[in-house]
Chains A and B, each alone.
Chain A
Amino acid sequence: AQTVTQSQPEMSVQEAETVTLSCTYDTSESDYYLFWYKQPPSRQMILVIRQEAYKQQNATENRFSVNFQKAAKSFSLKISDSQLGDAAMYFCASMDSNYQLIWGAGTKLIIKP
């Protein structure tokens, strides 16, 4: 069974600075997807970025980028130029061959003005 671990319950960063959120996962499958979701106080899960395991190139979406280390089973999220609107819970998730999402416990990101 797949597992996803987020070891940072909470992170804080100064506005306009860069922060990295950590995630490790375990899977026996060769083909899978990895995701970072954002959950603001409104509770709705919003997809931040997605990475296909077969792609070696790290995914990037504007200020958000990932560092995907397949051999180490590591999938960290880097947020550049942090903004107040980035404050939220961030969840790392993996998707197996059943297309079910397996989630980490989340990291609360605090942005200091």
Chain B
Amino acid sequence: DAGVTQSPTHLIKTRGQQVTLRCSPKSGHDTVSWYQQALGQGPQFIFQYYEEEERQRGNFPDRFSGHQFPNYSSELNVNALLLGDSALYLCASSLGLASYEQYFGPGTRLTVT
């Protein structure tokens, strides 16, 4: 049973560029949530996707956008990268919106120079 997978593992971008991170949920899960974890801090909720729509959003600017595909996989896009966007981006999947069980992927480490 495949768990949550994320790609790439890490990447380095320059300020002003755009980046796309990918997540495949655990088998059988249909909901994907994204979190940003800055160095030395706890994660912060970015947004959640269910049925290919953004259902909830945390306190993040519009530069952060996402997408969910019919196979439930998801992408996180960040435009006009800032140095402050450097962080570990975690993807979590669950079954349905009203679920307290979230399974996490290994994360993507983004460094903006």
Which chain A residues have a beta carbon within 8 Å of chain B's beta carbons? 4, 33, 37, 42-47, 50, 91, 93, 95, 98-106
Q: Within the complex, which residue of A46, A47, A104 is in contact with B42, where a contact is CB–CB below 8 Å?
A: A104
Contacts of B98 in A (CB 8 A): 99
Verify B43–A103 contact, CB threshold 8 A. yes
Chain A interface secondary structure, helix, strand, loop or mixed? strand
Give the interface of B toward A (CB within 8 A).
33, 35, 40-45, 48, 56, 58, 88, 90, 92, 94, 97-102, 104-107, 109
Complex CA distance for A104 and B44, rounded to whole angstroms: 10
**Contact, CB under 8 Å: A44 / B107:** yes
- Which of B44, B92, B102 has the largest number of chain A CB atoms within 10 A? B102
The residue among B42, B44, B101 with the most chain A CB atoms within 10 A of its own CB is: B42
- Give A37's nearest chain B residue, CB to CB: B104
Nearest Cβ in chain A — how far from B8, in angstroms? 13
**Given contacts A100-B58, A101-B45, A105-B41, A43 and B88 within 8 Å (CB-CB):** yes
